[in-house]
């Protein structure tokens, strides 16, 4: 028995409230109202497609695919159902699936200009993928090993920061240089490609020598800071350093992945962090996030930004360097820090993580994927992750993992939180996120954690976003995310 007229009227009112919340970028509220509308009128394809779009905005692309699929089941000719599923799959880097759905949508709406634009963009990406697959060779040397630094002459007209040394004898990275570079970046100036590549190659050497799980010892008197996602928000990174001091041998840091994408100063962020890694290799630690990957960089802006500020060769070196970022860190044998979360199976040990061959693009499943993509859930057990990648894991999973590996705490990042951090799973799991007002629109605070070696109890500092130049988030991202409209 279907909904009566009263339910249908109420559902439309809820949809209108949801649409209004969506337009105000209050996606959490929109999600609640669309869900209420679906409960009253569960056969409306429009409600499912609109909720799918809301899931995309909340980065829950797995849930978006499920809702869009349900919309298509309810109305196989409903264009927005295919459209939303394609958007979600594109965001996940599943370009061939996205292309298939955009082609189906185009059959029903052949003159829709936005749809035609997205179809053409996706077709270009798929053709590029096929070309790359066709020419791929295991024998191909990494770009970092073929780059001739001596060929990157520093022109006399270059007025930016310079490393000590010379082109003939080589350059060295000093604290004076790094501080001048940060000020140069603050003024929206580009570092010379010669010095950028020097940072990349030097940092690559340090990262390549590390295991997939890095153990970090602390003396009782030492402190240690963990930051979460910074996502190209360079001016907020400067604020972290203002609040907590620059990285140094006496002020060590771990940045827990997702340095790049979305924010439009990702080049400045990653070069700064890599430069500090070169200065203090034992005291500055960098973990891989799910956005330190080829597909994410193609979609969410980093590749476009690097090619705008430098060129494709520099992007190739970044891509290779990301594959050497460690996947996990254990601080003082008590706290494990990973970007995403835990695993789809029980019994995973620290040695299992150490054995992961990380020098690759992240796979779609398995331990490496789950470390980068998984999320905690409040209920026990495991569930499919709302992102469509990794797994959702409950408090019992966290407790079992910590007990097996004789650890006290899991720290992870990967999710924006209103206060910049959240303590879950009966205190066993902490999320820290360091990009305030994420994407210039979420209104959240940022946070970082400070531990003392003597007790390893997390101490949280929260902070608000600071102003930045008028370059919007996602300025270099794929054009796919520029003009989608609700199927109202």
User: Which is it for strands 446-452 and 382-384: parallel, antiparallel or unpaired?
Assistant: unpaired
- Angle formed at CA 366 by CA 364 and CA 369, multiple of 5 degrees: 55
Q: Which fold has domain 193-471?
A: Purple Acid Phosphatase; chain A, domain 2 (3.60.21)
Tens of pLDDT, residue by residue over 332-383, are 999 999 999 999 999 999 999 999 999 999 999 999 999 999 999 999 999 9
* Cα(181)–Cα(427) distance, integer angstroms: 40
Half-sphere exposure of 104 (CA within 13 A, CB side): 18
Annotated catalytic residue within 184, 283, 291, 425: 291
* Cα(344)–Cα(373) distance, integer angstroms: 11
413 in Cβ contact with 431 (< 8 Å)? yes
Contacts of 333 (CB under 8 A, 6+ apart): 215, 217, 406, 407
Q: Break the chain into its structural domains and give their ranges.
A: 5-135, 193-471
The DSSP-derived string for 308-323 is: HHS-HHHHHHHHHHHT
Task: Annotate 202-270 with three-state secondary structure.
Answer: HHHHHHHCCCCEEEECCCCCCEEEEECECCCCHHHHHHHHHHHCCCECCECEEECCCCCCCCCCHHHHH
β-pair partners for 436: none
Q: Is 223 considered catalytic here?
A: no
Of 235, 236, 150, 143, the C-alpha closest to 193 is 150
Tens of pLDDT, residue by residue over 219-249, are 999 999 999 999 999 999 999 999 999 999 9
Contacts of 433 (CB under 8 A, 6+ apart): 228, 229, 413, 414, 415, 416, 417, 420, 421, 444, 446, 447
* Cα(366)–Cα(371) distance, integer angstroms: 9
Contacts of 175 (CB under 8 A, 6+ apart): 279
* Cα(269)–Cα(306) distance, integer angstroms: 12
Q: Which residues of the chain are modeled with pLDDT < 70?
A: 1-2, 136-139, 168-169, 481-488
Contacts of 450 (CB under 8 A, 6+ apart): 223, 224, 225, 226, 244, 458, 459, 460, 461
Phi and psi (nearest 5°) for 418?
-55, -40
Tens of pLDDT, residue by residue over 46-59, are 999 999 999 999 99
265 in Cβ contact with 233 (< 8 Å)? yes
Phi and psi (nearest 5°) for 5?
-60, -35
Phi and psi (nearest 5°) for 393?
-120, 145
Can you say whether the dihedral through the CA atoms of 448, 462, 442, 416 is positive or negative?
positive
The pair of structure tokens assigned to 235 is 């001016």
> Tokens 């798929």 map to which residue?
126
Q: What CATH architecture is 5-135?
A: Alpha Horseshoe (1.25)
> How far is CA 402 from each of CA 242, 335, 395, 458, rounded to the nearest angstrom?
34, 9, 11, 16
* Cα(431)–Cα(277) distance, integer angstroms: 24
Q: What is the dihedral of CA 40, 44, 45, 50, to 10 degrees?
A: -50
Contacts of 337 (CB under 8 A, 6+ apart): 226, 254, 256, 287, 328, 329, 330, 331, 411, 412
pLDDT of residue 483: 40
Of 310, 246, 232, 247, the C-alpha closest to 281 is 247
pLDDT of residue 487: 41
Q: Is the pTM of this model over 0.85?
A: yes
């Amino acid at each position: 028995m279907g909904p009566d007229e009263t339910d249908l009227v109420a559902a439309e009112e809820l949809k209108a409230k949801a649409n209004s919340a969506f337009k105000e970028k209050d996606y959490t509220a929109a999600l609640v109202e669309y869900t209420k509308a679906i409960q009253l009128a569960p056969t409306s394809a429009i409600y499912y497609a609109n909720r799918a779009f809301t899931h995309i905005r909340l980065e829950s692309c797995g849930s978006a695919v499920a809702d869009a699929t349900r919309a298509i089941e309810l109305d196989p000719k409903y264009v927005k159902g295919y459209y939303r599923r394609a958007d979600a799959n594109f965001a996940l880097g599943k370009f061939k699936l996205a292309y298939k759905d955009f082609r189906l949508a185009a059959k029903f709406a052949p003159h829709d200009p936005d749809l035609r634009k997205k179809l053409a963009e996706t077709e270009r990406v798929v053709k590029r993928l096929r070309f790359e697959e066709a020419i791929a060779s295991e024998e191909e040397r990494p770009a970092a090993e073929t780059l001739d630094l001596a060929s990157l002459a520093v022109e006399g007209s270059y007025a930016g920061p310079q490393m000590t040394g010379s082109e003939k004898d080589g350059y060295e990275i000093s604290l004076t240089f790094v501080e001048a570079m940060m000020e140069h970046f603050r003024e929206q100036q580009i570092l010379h490609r010669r010095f950028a590549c020097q940072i990349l190659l030097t940092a690559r050497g340090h990262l390549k020598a590390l295991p997939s799980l890095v153990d970090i010892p602390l003396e009782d008197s030492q402190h240690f800071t963990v930051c979460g996602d910074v996502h190209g928000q360079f001016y907020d990174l400067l604020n972290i350093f203002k609040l907590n001091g620059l990285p140094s041998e006496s002020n060590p840091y771990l940045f827990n992945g997702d340095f790049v994408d979305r924010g439009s100063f990702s080049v400045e962020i990653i070069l700064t962090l890599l430069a500090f890694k070169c200065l203090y290799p034992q005291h500055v630690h960098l973990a891989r996030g799910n956005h330190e990957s080829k597909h994410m960089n193609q979609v969410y802006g980093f590749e476009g930004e690097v090619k705008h500020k430098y060129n494709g060769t520099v992007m190739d070196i970044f891509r290779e360097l990301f594959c050497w970022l460690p996947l996990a860190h254990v601080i003082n044998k008590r706290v494990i820090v990973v970007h995403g979360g835990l695993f789809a199976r029980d019994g995973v040990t620290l040695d299992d993580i150490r054995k992961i061959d990380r020098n690759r693009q992240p796979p779609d499943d398995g331990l490496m994927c789950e470390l980068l993509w998984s999320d905690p859930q409040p209920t026990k057990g495991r569930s499919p992750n709302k992102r469509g990648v990794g797994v959702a894991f409950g408090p019992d999973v966290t407790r079992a993992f910590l007990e097996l590996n004789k650890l006290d705490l899991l720290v992870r990042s990967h999710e924006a939180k209103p206060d910049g951090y959240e303590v879950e799973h009966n205190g066993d799991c902490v999320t820290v996120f360091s990009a305030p007002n994420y994407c210039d629109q979420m209104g959240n605070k940022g946070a970082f954690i400070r531990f003392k070696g003597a007790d390893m109890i997390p101490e949280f500092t929260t902070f608000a976003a600071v102003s930045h130049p008028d370059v919007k988030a996602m300025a270099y991202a794929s054009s796919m995310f520029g003009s989608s409209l609700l199927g109202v």
